[in-house]
Amino acid sequence: MLERPIMVLGSLATKIGLKEAVAFAKINEVTHPTYQREGKYWICYTQEQWNKIFPFWSELTIKRTLTRLENLNLLISGNFNKHKSDNTKWYTFNIEGIEACDKLCGGNHDK
């Protein structure tokens, strides 16, 4: 199987961090949101699925990176699981956060 390279903008990596930029690009590439809740499309992956998406990172690194993307307002998480004891997070892209980040990354940084 031929792997596809992960394309990351240097300006994005500079603003949010390399791991976060890699994760953001990879999530954008592999996700096909199919669950619609609260007017948004969401993804829901188990830890095993995240491990397949990011085989080059530990589980802890994956969790920290997803949390950082939430803290940066690029991802929004929710819990729409049927069982209250299931704490698997659901994620959606935060369009407003992405647009704000795009403005920061899209400008001329040569001063």
3-state secondary structure string across 26-50: HHHHHCCCCEEECCEEEEECCHHHH
Structural domains for the chain: 10-16+23-106 (1.10.10.10)
Q: Mean pLDDT, to the nearest integer, of 91-95?
A: 89
Q: How does pLDDT run across 4-50, given as a tens digit for each residue?
A: 888 998 988 999 999 999 999 888 887 777 788 888 889 889 999 99
% pLDDT > 70, the chain: 89
Phi and psi at 81, nearest 5°, equal -70, 150
- In terms of DSSP bridges, do strands 75-78 and 90-93 run parallel, antiparallel, or are they unpaired? antiparallel
For 18, 24, 25, 56, 61, the CA distances from 4, given in Å and listed in that order, are: 18, 15, 12, 14, 22
